[in-house]
Structure 1
């Protein structure tokens, strides 16, 4: 009887934090099932940034790197067309060094590669075919977002995109698998007639082979309707998330040093009293908006933890930030980067002011923490709509889609509505978040829907 061959999965993330982290969690989940070798390909700059988080490494995963996208690209404001084009060119430039690494080191060293798990790089299908291995796709955001991209031809035919005005009072009610979509909830890229990424969104999905596995970082109980509709286009899409819950012992892949001292500060605060504010690794705030939020927090005088990463507020001068830290010292804390999962799971956190990146939405949901939604880029408007209208675990501001400033009065009003315990709305959202938290955790446990899907995928590799 011949010996069994150990499956060897090569993983290639989009080189930004919000994509590296969930794919690394998925790889750790795969490795934890045993008898699978993972090779995780990262840019040299990004791997250097996450070394401290990895410590002695991750069992079952080996890391390989190539010269690629510099860490500085993470500071790009992707709301700007020019920056999106710079980023896309950098993604195209990854093809040659990734193929060289695969051929000259990974394949040469062995064992044989079973498949490449990657995001929807425009070159990955051809690269995988050239080296003779199957390509598997990983989608780190919602099934609703996948479905909406597949619906682009229909939206174009009906004349609902490109969007001229996100603030118009209109809903799109014909996308099967999705509840009615207010125009404000459509991804921002749907507004740009001359943006090449507008056309690329659909083209990249059309090129997915029908027999390819498509792993989605969501779970059946959360997005069953959208997943059912997406299977008309991709029959082998399977939800395997939330990926980070499948590898709870591993921290997020942080490109910034985490301020763990804030956890000691949270220990001193009352239960559910703190508003946590963070906008992820890409989204930015205007200086004017940051000042309105700061003024609202000062007037509220209620506990808050605000993560302001470098370059996230263009033009923010030390003359503003340092005095702000001093003025709020008695009730608030301003830091550079928080250990977000640990923060959200802390008993003192009562609400999360978020940009609605998918990772942040899942992490807040898993912690049972309701959200204040302030979407900034990409599909975050859609995520905001799901949080507020479909799952009813958050609130939004009136400016979504209008581009207008959230003034301090409205900011304070929404914060009070979310955070005050005697508010029936807050209790209702907190109850809904708790239920979804329980569903998410069940999904990744033995016998859960995501666990079974991951098991089936692993069996296909073996």
Structure 2
């Protein structure tokens, strides 16, 4: 195989921000290894979005089934689409690999897959090739899945005496303390038997077999967690932040709603930027409370929110803030560019991992309102470990809690600003030519292209 062209199979979990993140990594690998063919497997709906403007000679698109039967009527049960996909995920990759090998005339030489797909370890072993697992979030949430059995064992002795919002010391290796309620659902709380929870549990038990585990972060952000996970995993490689590395900055997209020109007319570090990503929107009552707090405190803001949610605002809210110039509500904003604007003073966010990294790379403190998944644990890191923001009091937006959070962040102490700047500096240094993420990426390329000899098990 070393004497012929290499052929890498890439498989993404097709929901949330996973596909765009894994395609971004694939593009970096394809650029670093132009002689390698990358076959990218994803469901059609997601691929249509990703590949609409993509031209890359050595990335080939392949559509796999989403597992939804023709004519299927959704029952409205939690994670229904995800569960249907997971039921066919392994079979779909196996079929896809056969098609891609026939199309190219090249056997697959490496699997680069979403870490969720723990079954790829067996596939890689059968094929005698490396298995590169890509974790789409931070090392804090990854550690919670790697140590699930240990956490369950320790917490079993505490349940009943410790509530979900009480700090527990030494519950999880790599973190001094954490709350049960901040761990991702399925670790201790929630439905431990759901297909999604089962997948994550199996993943946590299997990842030590991966040739490499890579993620969008930088090792200086969490030295303790990096050390802890490096002791459990082979080639644990942080190769981010992607938003600082990507050549296709958001600024290259058209700023169709004139966010930047509006920000250009605002005072330095005075604007609250509000966005909860493309998936999450707070409940209507919380939108009302957040809007009232902004208006009553006269906090200038830029809010990215889908048009269909505007109906929940207090009557006349958008018109009033537009006329008096204190606010701008848009359906979409070039987030990375917005966060790096000098006018931004705080980011009100759901605390998804990509948003956290973008805020961190721009040196902007956060007000966190997490919803699910890793967001609660990310909020814990932001507030209690890194000290670069805070979580909304009580976990939901009320007028009082929002007012209090805005007051606290806009009057952040010098030590917090210094911490924010220090982490921003570390993030930028990690991607420099001799930085840790750049060096780790070189190692990743070597694994993917087979330029180093590894023992696969």
TM-score normalised by structure 1 residue count: 0.84
Determine the structure 1 residue equivalent to 2:61.
63
Shift of 1:215: 0.8
CA distance in 2, matches of 1:284, 1:341: 19
1:148 deviates by: 1.7
Distance 1:11 1:310 in 2: 35
- The CA distance in 2 between the partners of 1:47 and 1:361, in whole Å, is 25
Residues 25 and 250, structure 1, Cα contact 8 Å, conserved in 2: no
Q: Deviations over 1:252-275 (max 9, x none)?
A: 999xx9755322222222222211
Alignment of 1:290-309 (within 5 A): 290-309=287-306
Q: Identify the residue that residue 73 of structure 1 maps to in structure 2.
A: none
- What is the aligned counterpart of 1:375 among 370, 375, 381? 370
1:136 aligns with 2:129: no
- Seen in structure 2, the aligned counterparts of structure 1 residues 84 and 271 have a Cα distance that, compared at 3 Å, is same
Partner of 2:29: 30
After the TM superposition, which residues 330-349 of structure 1 pair with which residues of structure 2 at under 5 Å, given as runs? 330-349=325-344
- TM-score, normalising length: structure 2: 0.85
Structure-1 separation of matches of 2:159 and 2:303 = 33
Question: What do the CA deviations read for 1:88-114 (whole angstroms, capped 9, x no partner)?
Answer: 222333333333332113553144432
408, 431, 436: which one pairs with 1:444?
Answer: 431
- What is the CA–CA distance in structure 2 between the aligned matches of 1:91 and 1:108, rounded to whole Å? 26
- Give the aligned partner of residue 271 of structure 1: 268
Q: Which runs of 5+ in 2 are unaligned?
A: 69-73, 452-457
Aligned to 1:334, the other structure's residue is in SS state: strand
* Alignment partner of 1:328 is 2:321: yes
Match in the other structure for 1:288: 285
Q: Secondary structure at the match of 1:378?
A: coil
Q: CA contact under 8 A between 1:15 and 1:69: conserved in structure 2? A: no
- Name 1:416's counterpart in structure 2: 407
Instruction: Give the conservation status (yes or no) of the 8 Å contact 1:26–1:244.
Output: no
Task: Give the direction of change, closer, same or farther, for the CA distance of 1:220–1:287 in structure 2 (3 Å limit).
Answer: same
Query: How do residues 89-128 of structure 1 correspond to structure 2 at under 5 angstroms?
Result: 89-119=84-114, 120-128=116-124
Aligned to 1:186: 183
Matched, 1:350 2:345: yes
- Report what 2:420 is aligned to: 433
Name the CA distance, whole Å, in 2 between partners of 1:69 and 1:332. Answer: 43
- 1:106-135 alpha-carbon deviations (Å, 9 max, x no partner): 553144432121112244334445666432
Bigger relative CO (Cα 8 Å, ≥ 6 apart): 1
For residues 86 and 321 of structure 2, what CA distance do their matches in structure 1 show? 41
In structure 2, what is the Cα distance between the partners aligned to 1:445 and 1:68?
A: 39
CA drift of 1:146 comes to: 1.7
For residue 45 of structure 1, give the secondary structure of its aligned residue in structure 2: helix
Name the CA distance, whole Å, in 2 between partners of 1:163 and 1:379. Answer: 21
Corresponding residue SS for 1:49: helix
Q: For the Cα contact (< 8 Å) 2:346–2:366, is it kept in 1?
A: yes
Alpha-carbon distance change, 333 to 424 in structure 1, aligned in 2, over 3 angstroms: closer
